[in-house]
């Protein structure tokens, strides 16, 4: 059996679409109908005509697709592909913060579980966090769960930000020392980093971008070499789309184990056996949808 061919056949039979995040394994990226960052994937999930979405990413991304398109079947090929950062804050934590700061609005990074989105005013992604916080009607903003993204946003807005102390274990491992060494080795390379990185790494970056922001920036840049400060999966796409340019990880390659759980066989099995469907209670869907749609209106 040819797995790629079976995937194509099943997709047509079931009117399914395969959405893939930029950190996924190369073979999974290659079967994507749409490959992108959290914002692009959310938009795609909200305006597809497909009946079924196979989401190759982590739980919060598939949940976001389900919240935006509740009538569709949304499948996560590996049930255990979670995001540890999303699990660092609970809805009770957010409710307690709201009680402590009643005048504040809540902005949640999409890297949160559905019940946290349900107690949120507006969601954001790494590509629109600054715009969302700047435009929300409040001088005080509770920002969960990523402390690094919160501090990055704080550089651009004149508002009080109350951060949660969450972080991404993958980006947290990128150190300023290793990035400086990489810059010494490739002095003509531009350093692109993700806003989940630590502030000392952000300070020395040429550009701070979402994963799709990196893809777009590289495509338009005249520079030849790039140091990439994010999960290593994106290097496959960057190299494939820009064969005339060179890409190096900014330090040792950093891997998100959760993003790498999904294999091509899992994608095939997901389509064949319709596994594993995302299920979210209706009342959570309706509140979380409001926060996600508010984000999609901002930018």
Instruction: Point out which residues bind ligand SF4 (CB under 6 A).
Output: 58, 83-85, 111, 168-170, 196, 231, 256, 258-259
Q: Which is nearer to ligand 13P, 38 or 69 (CB)?
A: 38
42 contact choice in ligand 13P, ligand SF4, none (CB below 5 to 8 Å, kind-dependent) = none
Q: Is 168 in the site for ligand 13P (CB under 6 A)?
A: yes
Q: Which is nearer to ligand SF4, 115 or 146 (CB)?
A: 146
Give the C-alpha separation, 168 to 146, whole Å: 7
Q: Which is nearer to ligand SF4, 16 or 62 (CB)?
A: 62
Q: Is 210 in the site for ligand 13P (CB under 6 A)?
A: yes
Q: Is 37 in the site for ligand 13P (CB under 6 A)?
A: yes
Q: Is 196 in the site for ligand 13P (CB under 6 A)?
A: yes
Q: How far is the CB of 282 from ligand SF4 (least distance, A)?
A: 26
84 contact choice in ligand 13P, ligand SF4, none (CB below 5 to 8 Å, kind-dependent) = ligand SF4
Which residues make up the interface to ligand 13P (CB under 6 A)? 22, 37-38, 111, 125-126, 168, 194, 196, 210-211
């Amino acid at each position: 059996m040819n797995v790629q061919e079976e995937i194509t056949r099943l997709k047509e039979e079931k009117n399914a679409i395969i959405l893939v995040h930029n950190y996924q394994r190369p073979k999974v990226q290659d079967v994507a109908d749409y490959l992108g960052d959290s914002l692009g994937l959310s938009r795609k999930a909200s305006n597809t005509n497909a009946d079924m979405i196979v989401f190759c990413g982590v739980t919060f991304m598939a949940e976001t697709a389900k919240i935006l398109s509740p009538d569709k079947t949304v499948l996560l090929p590996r049930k255990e592909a979670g995001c540890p950062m999303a699990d660092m804050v609970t809805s009770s934590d957010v409710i307690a913060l709201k009680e402590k700061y009643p005048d504040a609005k809540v902005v949640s990074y999409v890297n949160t579980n559905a019940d946290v989105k349900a107690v949120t005013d507006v969601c954001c992604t790494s590509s629109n966090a600054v715009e969302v916080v700047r435009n929300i009607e409040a001088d005080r903003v509770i920002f969960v769960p990523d402390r690094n993204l919160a501090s990055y946003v704080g550089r651009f807005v004149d508002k009080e930000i109350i951060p949660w102390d969450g972080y991404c274990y993958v980006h947290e491992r990128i150190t300023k020392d290793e990035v400086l060494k990489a810059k010494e080795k490739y002095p003509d390379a531009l350093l692109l980093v993700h806003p989940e990185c630590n502030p000392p790494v952000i300070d020395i970056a040429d550009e701070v971008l979402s994963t799709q922001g990196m893809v777009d920036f590289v495509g338009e840049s005249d520079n030849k070499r790039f140091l990439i400060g994010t999960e290593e999966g994106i290097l496959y796409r960057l190299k494939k789309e820009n064969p005339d340019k060179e890409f190096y990880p900014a330090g040792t390659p950093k891997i998100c184990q959760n993003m790498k759980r999904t294999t091509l066989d899992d994608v095939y099995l997901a389509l064949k056996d319709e596994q594993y469907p995302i299920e979210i209670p209706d009342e959570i869907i309706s509140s979380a949808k409001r926060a996600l749609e508010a984000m999609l209106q901002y930018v």
